[in-house]
Amino acid sequence: MGKIDTTPSTLGARVMAASLFYQASKTAPQPNSDNVDDDGYCQRLQGIDHGLSALTDRLPTNLQLPENAECQHAIFVNILIHTATMCLHKTAAQKAKCLQGPEAEILVRESHNRMFAAAVKVLDVFQQTRDLVMALKNPIQDYTAYIAALVFMQDFSVGKSEQSRCDTLFLFGILRTAGEIHAVARMLSVQLETQLENRGIGIPRDDEIDLDSLETYRTRRNRG
């Protein structure tokens, strides 16, 4: 993708976000590949990262959040950008772990910070969305909630952050609730439940997860 030096149209921004999401989702190293030290591979990751940053900076006014939180186009484009960022930096962290020395540790930490920041922005989107279940009608947004939950779960596992644990369970809750209607959300909630159990994170009972409880948590979190 070429350099983004002007503000794109709404359609153009949507196409760019979709393209960057696709590219980021295809960056994971393949088993037995020999690209661990490939400069071209690193440049590819950097190019996608720069593209995501440029698109974020150049989003047209009608796609910016939180001003347009009621616009599905704005939600979708921002979700694509944040999900692409999480996928990209997950790959970058995995790649850096194959290296040695303090530089590798810095790269891993930076990638984790970028993933966490993107996950927080995803959570902000869901905080601003009026209808949580409708927001997860789109399979990509289901996937986004799942990936963000994994990022928060990892943060809790490392630092025992109570906020990250609560945010993980909030995202699990909306996936579980949406899963009563949408098959993809149901599938991802089952996968996430297994990973939560493996990490020793207690899961609320089914009768403790409903839209009222999710709204209560969302309101409490918005108030800080």
The tens digit of pLDDT for each residue in 127-182 reads 887 777 677 778 999 999 999 999 999 999 888 888 899 899 989 988 988 888 88
The tens digit of pLDDT for each residue in 81-111 reads 999 999 999 988 887 777 767 777 888 889 9
Give the domain extent around 155: 131-224
Under a CB-based contact definition with an 8 Å cutoff, are residues 145 and 187 in contact?
A: no
Examine the fold and report which residue of 85, 102, 130 is the final residue of a domain before the chain moves on: 130
Per DSSP, helices labelled H in the chain are 10-25, 39-58, 72-97, 102-128, 132-135, 139-159, 162-178, 183-198, 211-222
Global pTM value: 0.85
Examine the fold and report which residue of 74, 108, 130 is the final residue of a domain before the chain moves on: 130
> Is there a single domain that holds both residue 23 and residue 101?
yes
CA–CA–CA angle 214, 164, 85 (5° rounding): 100
> Is there a single domain that holds both residue 97 and residue 168?
no
In this prediction, residue 4 carries a pLDDT of 65
> Is there a single domain that holds both residue 121 and residue 137?
no
